[in-house]
Structure 1
């Protein structure tokens, strides 16, 4: 029997004629998606808080100035210093609320991945540098209030104020420090050491001098200084959570600092001035240049009648 080759080809399965490979699965190719920068800045709540605190500082300044006019010039030392504190704070908050006392700190974080190159995430966080200018001017005035209240000598006052200024300037350097380097936290450590020097002058030297003046002055100094130290201790804690590790939003940072500033300035000032009116031992008078200016003998003579 003769087979037709065409029919024989039709009856043969194609799998015996053409070898085929088994299908294999292909793993997804790893890719790197470009990362967009993250901007951390104030929103409605934070901006509103800045304006509210500005108004509070203006009102406090007006109240303290009014209280100063009710006492003679010789007794206005605490009133003048305390009024300057809230005036400077008001200017600082106006600068921050209008966006003129603000800058951005650029932070780049690194993320490691398997089988693909590392990626970097850029973060731009607002830093309110006007706040550090405020603190560098107002906290020395607060220290001056407390030092005069305690009766500290000039050497201790100078050391406390210099340590205070160093504390806030190094805090500003830390706020703009680079991420992932010891620079940022090194500045923070210096600020904390300077703060301990300030506390030592207040808690040790200041308390001893205040107690020596009178038991009533010592008791009041212990209360208002303890209040101030507690409030001031909260500042570096907030900084570490907010500006240092960025665990707090910018709005949260603004609100936290606002509460502390109100306690440290208007509340502190009102407490001090009310006590000044009630405690005779601290209601002392200052004469000399503070009250009378330059005396007639100390003025500069422009003419000499004897030599005419």
Structure 2
């Protein structure tokens, strides 16, 4: 199997996932409709990024010096463009879940989105750097922003969710836990792949990222969409 194989798997999987989310997503309430649009759009963006990488428009020939040896590989910059759009969308959806669609405190939402953008941009600089101390400085900064995202997820937005009814609290806890666990794999892969320590090869790192991308965008999107449906049904019952 090659990088190209896994990139096409990512492209097709995201396209199918997007169609599934839009098909099962409800629009009975404004909150449910917003959730469907957000989670359906995420794999659409990812499918475009994977298509660009699969046809050679989303990557550049790159090299990295490890232990005195030059390692050549494809630098998939389209990943970062994907993440720059899709991760804020996923976090915005989580914030809306925590507040039950009515954001009362803008601080946690603004903070988590800014930290997320900083995390992705500095990770891009990390991948592009060929000088050791510069590369690892960017990695440390990116990890700092990464943990800031986790802090808001586990503290700021959790406090907001605690003010909601039990089913909304449960939905937020489930979604935040799922996403937090999956997202923790990303920096580990970036650390080990050719852009980092080159412990694993390009194809293996590509395969891992495709799998966790599909889980965090498609599987998570389907799970969240089903959860939004249950919340919307209760909203309608109580509204009636």
Q: TM-score under structure 1 normalisation?
A: 0.71
The correspondence of residues 30-41 of structure 1 with structure 2, limited to 5 A, is none
Between the aligned partners of 1:133 and 1:204, the Cα distance in structure 2 is 28
Indicate yes or no: 2:199 matched with 1:247: yes
Q: Which deviations, in whole Å up to 9, do the C-alpha atoms of 1:165-208 show, x marking residues without a partner?
A: 110110010001124x3100100000000011111111101112
The correspondence of residues 200-279 of structure 1 with structure 2, limited to 5 A, is 200-242=151-193, 243-279=195-231
Q: Greater Rg, structure 1 or structure 2?
A: 1
Shift of 1:45: 2.9
Alpha carbons of structure 1 residues 201 and 282: separation in structure 2 relative to 1, 3 Å? farther
Contact 1:81 1:141 in 2 (8 A): yes
Equivalent in 132, 138, 142 of residue 90 of structure 2? 142
Shift of 1:215: 2.0
The correspondence of residues 1-308 of structure 1 with structure 2, limited to 5 A, is 44-68=1-25, 70-72=26-28, 74=30, 75-109=32-66, 111=68, 121-151=69-99, 152=103, 153-179=105-131, 181-242=132-193, 243-280=195-232
Long gaps (5+) in structure 1: 1-43, 112-120, 285-308
Q: What is the DSSP-based 3-state SS (H/G/I as helix, E as strand, rest coil) of the residue aligned with 2:137?
A: helix
Contact 2:66 2:198 in 1 (8 A): no
User: Comparing both structures, which one devotes a greater share of its residues to helix?
Assistant: 2
> What's the RMSD between the two structures over aligned residues?
1.8
Contact 1:214 1:281 in 2 (8 A): no
Runs of 4+ with >6 A deviation: none
Aligned length: 230
Contact 2:97 2:171 in 1 (8 A): no
Long gaps (5+) in structure 2: none
Work out which structure has the larger RCO, using CA pairs closer than 8 Å and 6 or more positions apart in sequence: 2
Q: TM-score under structure 2 normalisation?
A: 0.90
Contact 1:276 1:283 in 2 (8 A): no
